[in-house]
Amino acid sequence: MKRMGSQERRTAVLRLLSRMGVVLMAAGGKFPPGPEAVQNFRASQDKSLSAERRSTATKAAFFGPQSNPTPDDIMLDGISTDTIKMQIGANDPKLFPLESWWPG
């Protein structure tokens, strides 16, 4: 069996890493979002609403008041229906009580 030198090992690791992905998940805050935040979040992903209404809701839900996001930042149609369902479900305290995100 041939021993690998440091360059070969680095190359092997880099090749492995280039095939891996990273998923970052953030637990919710210690306090549940307010009703207006939840309403804007849901409206931002409700495809039955007009693009203008969804854009306004998205700005309110995801961007600060001084932000000027571009249409690419807002991504009205860039999220799959399954992802939307999971995001809405993750914010439902009946399905995921705050204690399930934070142990204490």
Q: Between 11 and 48, whose confidence is greater?
A: 48
Question: 46 and 38 in contact (C-beta within 8 Å)?
Answer: no
Q: 3-state DSSP call for residue 93?
A: coil
4 DSSP assignment? P
When pLDDT is averaged across residues 59-85 and rounded to a whole number, the result is 85
pLDDT of residue 24 exceeding 70, the answer is: no
Name the pLDDT band for 20 (thresholds 50, 70, 90).
Answer: low
When pLDDT is averaged across residues 57-71 and rounded to a whole number, the result is 88
Question: 44 and 58 in contact (C-beta within 8 Å)?
Answer: yes
Highest mean pLDDT among 12-16, 30-34, 35-39, 90-94: 35-39
Q: What is the pTM of this model?
A: 0.59
Question: 52 and 102 in contact (C-beta within 8 Å)?
Answer: no
Q: Between 60 and 85, whose confidence is greater?
A: 60
Question: 76 and 58 in contact (C-beta within 8 Å)?
Answer: yes
Question: 48 and 23 in contact (C-beta within 8 Å)?
Answer: no
